[in-house]
Amino acid sequence: MTDRHDGHVRSRAAYEAACRRLPGGVNSPVRAYGGMDIGPVFIASARGAKVVDLDGREYIDYVGSWGPMILGHAHPEVIAAIHAAVDRGTSFGAPTLAETALAERIVRAMASIELVRLVSSGTEAVMSAVRLARAFTGREMIVKMAGCYHGHSDSFLVAAGSGVAEQGTASCPGVPQALAQLTVVAPYNDAEAVRAAFERHKGRIAAVLVEPVAANMGVVPPAAGYLERLRRLCDEHGALLIFDEVISGFRVAFGGAQQRYGVDADLTCLGKIIGGGLPLAAFGGRAAIMEQLAPIGQVYQAGTLSGNPIATAAAVATLDLLARPGCYDRLEALGAALEAGLADAAARAGVPLTINRVGSILSGFFCDRPVRHFADVQATDVARFKRFFAGMLERGVYLAPSAYEAMFVSLAHTEADIERTIDAARQALQAAARP
């Protein structure tokens, strides 16, 4: 892969070395900048709202480690908590006080959660929650929404069938078709398709799994009444409602999407922010459901590094900082300023741009119509996004290298950062407007 950016000499060399030892040179596919026609930027350090690459170039960061860095990078109070924890040891494989302290904070923040199980990744949280839902209901089938990503476990690497709510087909080699057939895929924001799935598969659906704010096909907010309708359908048909709040939890509100939209889930999956930048996730819900987990129930789930003391220290420090007054008002204001500035820049450049924002996460889709579900996302102008991405990177703004990802605003971003980003966007959009 060639790199048009002459200033990325060390990143190019690092990528070539990585490709000799790592599949594709990365440990998570999107980091490879696939389809961006630009080699990946290797990050050397980060602080606040800025990241610095191997060549010493500084960028305003809107990736935020794909969501966790809501406080900004290397927040001094989080770093201090990590240092204190490291001094006591890195892993015990035994209970610690910090695990309970974190669980208490999660339960206080989210009214639908009574008991919590800590794990190490969002994939693990969703996989475990689905197993628990199947055991609790005695059913096997799951409904998920097209375009919503729930980790890389086999049940969810599926594509939609030919209808509007069909059993999935395996979308990844190695995923058994028999397992994919237990997942029904419906369009996001289409409650009627979910109702039809319940009618078609009477008594077989264990749970409806959804991102209450879709953020893995770009940001797509729930339509008015959508989450409420899913809640009613699950209640009517004896299924559980699982919210994947790995991204939205503690991001769109302190109590997540459930607080913002006033709809409670039976089970909630959390990650990203609750780890404070370290590998930590969780799932939780009503006690009657969670008590089915071993060691008090028969549903097995375990993890050697679950509740790691360093990760829980970072998590507790992060949530305590977010609980301070004014944090979410500031995030809302910064997100709104960025949205308005990008919209104005696009209008001035004559470039069609639809911006979806929920609090401090937003996406710009290169199209001239609303974006409400995955088919809308797939119809946007990806080629124009590539040009825009390259232009922003050249101008010192670090975005996710995909048209299907979000921009994350942090408390470390300043009004000056937002204005500088908008200035960069004005220039990049002018360039992107050309064929």
Active site members: 149, 244, 272
* Cα dihedral sign, 419-423-428-432: positive
Residue 353 dihedral angles phi and psi, to the nearest 5°: -145, 120
- Between helix 415-432 and helix 327-349 the angle, nearest 10°, is 30
Task: Compute the distance between CA of residue 261 and CA of residue 86 in angstroms, rounded to an integer.
Answer: 38
DSSP-derived secondary structure for 99-141: HHHHHHHHHHH-TT-SEEEEES-HHHHHHHHHHHHHHHHT--E
Distance CA 128, CA 302 (A): 9
Say if residues 186 and 193 touch (Cβ distance below 8 Å): yes
- Quick one: DSSP state of residue 85? H
What number of H helices and E strands is found in the chain?
14, 17
Closest CA to 248 of 265, 228, 230: 265
Cβ neighbourhood burial of 199 (10 Å; 0-12, 13-18, 19+): exposed
Of the candidates 69, 73, 51, which has an alpha carbon nearest to the alpha carbon of residue 61? 51
Would strands 354-358 and 407-408 be described as parallel, antiparallel, or unpaired? unpaired
How many other CB atoms are there within 10 angstroms of residue 189's CB atom? 21
Distance separating alpha carbons of residues 156 and 149, to the nearest angstrom = 8
Q: What distances in angstroms separate CA 57 from CA 6, 10, 51, 197, 394, one per listed residue?
A: 12, 11, 8, 51, 10
306 neighbors 92 (Cβ within 8 angstroms): no
Phi, psi of 60 (to 5 degrees): -75, 125
- What amino acid occupies position 144? K
How far is residue 154 from each of residues 150, 170, 177, 267, 309, measured CA to CA in Å? Answer: 10, 8, 10, 20, 29
